Amino acid sequence: MKFRVKEYVVLAIAFAAVVFAVVFAFNGSSAGSDFREKKLTPEEAVPANVFGENESGGIELPPELSLTTGISSAEASPATDRSELSVPAAKPVVPAGVPGKSAPVLARAPVKAPRPATKNFSCAGQICIDADTGKILSGRNANVRHPPASVTKLMTIFLVLDAVKAGKIELSTPVKASQRAQNMGGTQVHLAAGEVNSVDDLLYALMLQSANDAAVALAEKVSGSVEDFVLAMNVKARELGLSNTKFSTPHGLPVSKKERASGKLPDMTSAADLAELSRALIKTHPGVFRYSAAKTKMFRELSVDRKPLPMGNHNKLLRLFPGCDGLKTGWTNAGASIVTTASRGNRRVIAVVLGGIVPGAQKGSVDAKTSQRERNQRAAELMFDGLKKLDALKYEPTPERP
């Protein structure tokens, strides 16, 4: 009897084991099927911070590396069927940036191309270069010589900043205006003979107001006379390899008939030379952006005997083109010129438009206002195209701050 009880116990245990095994096998196969069929969302499939966070904490994706195959991040709207989303194989490569600067940040919105200059706009020459390498990104008649007007002042500020760097003068050094400075025509800050301003204040006047009297005062302070300063300008031009450049003034005003009769020629340069001059200026004196990027400044702000003069930067692209932070405009009867620069993702371009004109209503005349406006449009075109070629439009602007 005892033997039969034991036999039943063994059989019961064996039966229970079989049932348990069958149930486990059934549930396991079902779970495996669910796992294989489940489609992971991008949030589940991609580890957090794979792409890095922007300043607001959101995930940033380069347009060409959108999670949706064949669709940019801007096109992937919330209505997109996310069951069809695929997972990128690798983390996108973002340039690490340059020393002293943060890594590039991907653009938060697409960059709109600027309006092209009107068909009746023409210029003596134009060029756009990579500011880092000097590589020409686009150009036309870039070596044609033409008067640069007030863009000449880029060489003037170059020599003044050279003198500051060499310790010959300081930005706080007082500069006493001469009678020659007072007598200057054209755009000015109306210096009076004997009036004293700092080098720093006069550099703002030079770059924002495009003040010709400030150019003369600075030239005399650095070299003792305008003539010696002009000699130094041309020495610098040769050092930089500007073979199509010859300066006659520190300000860029046209020479008078009397001066022409005595053999004096107007300032002459080319778009290519101006681009190289600007590239050297930026590399040697990055502090130039303190002046070229400033939109407004008060001259004689602390003066007790002269009325303060508000100055506004003539370079409208500082406001109109994201990332633009310089450099200099110019206008005379020889046309509208500009050297402008902008950066995105720590990639910088320099664009030059030399001697731009739009014909006026009367035969042989020039429409000054329209010429300057369309000059700006052409420069914006050149910068946009240059940044596009450098694959920099996908990044946020990275201008230098004054």
Contact criterion met (CB below 8 Å) for 325 and 361: no
Smallest CA-to-CA distance from 330 within 293, 299, 372 is with 372
Q: From the candidates 66, 150, 248, 337, which is the catalytic residue?
A: 150
Smallest CA-to-CA distance from 396 within 56, 48, 47 is with 56
Rounded to the nearest angstrom, the gap between the alpha carbon of residue 221 and the centroid of all alpha carbons in its chain is 32
Q: From the candidates 66, 178, 210, 343, which is the catalytic residue?
A: 210
Contacts of residue 59, Cβ cutoff 8 Å, sequence gap at least 6: 49, 51, 52, 53
Residue 145 tokens read as 């010589």
For strand 296-299 and strand 309-312, is the pairing parallel, antiparallel, or unpaired?
Answer: antiparallel
DSSP of 233-255, one letter per residue?
Answer: HHHHHHHTT-TT-B-S-SS-PPP
> Helix count (H) and strand count (E) of the chain?
12, 9
Q: From the candidates 66, 153, 221, 278, which is the catalytic residue?
A: 153
Q: How would you label 64-89 residue by residue, b for 16+ Cβ within 10 Å and e otherwise? A: eebbbeeeebeebeeeeeeeebeebe
Helices 153-165 and 226-239, packing angle to 10 deg:
90
Phi then psi dihedrals of residue 150, to 5 deg: -70, -5
DSSP one-letter code for 359: B
For strand 335-344 and strand 324-332, is the pairing parallel, antiparallel, or unpaired?
Answer: antiparallel
Contact criterion met (CB below 8 Å) for 158 and 285: yes
Contact criterion met (CB below 8 Å) for 339 and 151: yes
150 is catalytic: yes
153 is catalytic: yes
Residue with tokens 């006493």: 176
270 is catalytic: no
Which positions are annotated as active-site residues? 150, 153, 210
